[in-house]
Amino acid sequence: MHMYEKQIKMKGLGAAVTVTVTQLQKINSYALAELKPEEIYVRRFLIAHNGVDRDNERFPEDCLDGFMQTLPGKSVLRGHNRNEMPCGLFFDAYKETMSPAQFLSVTGEKINLPDSILQAQALYGWVYFLRNDTTKDLIASMDAGILRYVSIGFRAADRREVRGEANQAVYEEYVAPAEALEGSIVWLGAQPGAVIKGADGLKKPVSRGDDYLIPDAEVVNKEADNPLGFDDEARGKEARGDDYLIPDAEVVNKEADNPLGFDDEAKGKEARGKEARGDDYLIPDD
């Protein structure tokens, strides 16, 4: 079994819900001390579907079944940080089958299904959080639509290439059995069809303008030094914002890349490198 993380957009349907008796029973089956409705905050997330995503990958239906069976009881984390305490817990999960038109109506996004598959399958997870001083900012940010993305950490037997009639590579899909390991609230989502929806209707995300830096549904192979799973190390560093990507002696040949206006190329390189390090005292005043 291989472990992966796949970032997707979070789908929160409506406002936080009033806890039903059945939900409270399921929640208390995980709690060690009995919880009351006023002590908890409940939301529903669309966490995965069976469409081909922007990375040309998909979860087949049997993988979604595996996630549905194993998601309840798994933790909600912040940014896949397993060194910190979980902030919430999945207590239920289910799948819903719908037409592509219904999927578009629910999510505001088209689903890219393989030609042989006519129906969309969406996986929903119910989550609860404690209402306390620790989670109040988290809850407020979810309600405000600031926190709107999740990433599923999962395990699958493999990933295989699907080929077309001319033996061309069409897309890749994960191979069951699959297990959901955790779900994380993250800074950027990706899988089409899952934006947070407030009580007043669908709210579409505003593009940050630099989405191209991070593939929309990146697979992470648990490499500690490459948490975004980039095959190209330099591109991975760029997406993480690693400062060491700025060389100490950056080549400055173009006017746009020489903000200090040095005529001498070597001196320009040296000054640019020192500026990047913050060694202002090394750059002469003139």
pLDDT of residue 50: 95
The pLDDT score that the predictor gives to residue 80 is 83
Judgement on whether residues 202 and 157 belong to the same structural domain of the protein:
yes
**Residue 241 in domain:** no
- Quick check: is 49 in a domain? yes
- 271 and 201 within one domain: no
Q: Give yes or no: residues 217 and 266 share one domain.
A: no
For the stretch 9-42, pLDDT in tens is 544 444 566 899 999 999 999 999 999 999 999 9
- Of 217-221, 243-247, 280-284, give the range with the top mean pLDDT: 280-284
239 contacts: CB under 8 Å, gap ≥ 6: 213, 214, 228, 230
Residues 56 and 187 in one domain: yes
Section 228-250 average pLDDT: 40
Residue 286 lies in a domain: no
pTM: 0.65
- Does residue 237 form part of some domain? no
**Domain check: are 216 and 250 in the same one?**
no
Quote the percentage of the chain above a pLDDT of 70.
60
Same domain as 107, residue 33: yes
The whole-number average pLDDT for the span 220-246 is: 40
Give a yes or no: residue 111 inside a domain. yes
Is 87 within the bounds of a domain? yes
Structural domain count, the chain: 2
Do 228 and 252 fall within a single domain?
Answer: no
170 and 254 fall within a common domain: no
Q: In this structure, what are the phi and psi dihedrals at residue 61, rounded to the nearest 5 degrees?
A: -60, -35
Q: What is the extent of the structural domain holding 164? A: 2-232
Same domain, 183 and 260: no
Note whether 85 and 191 are same-domain residues: yes
169 and 267 co-located in one domain: no
Do 211 and 273 reside in the same domain of the chain? no
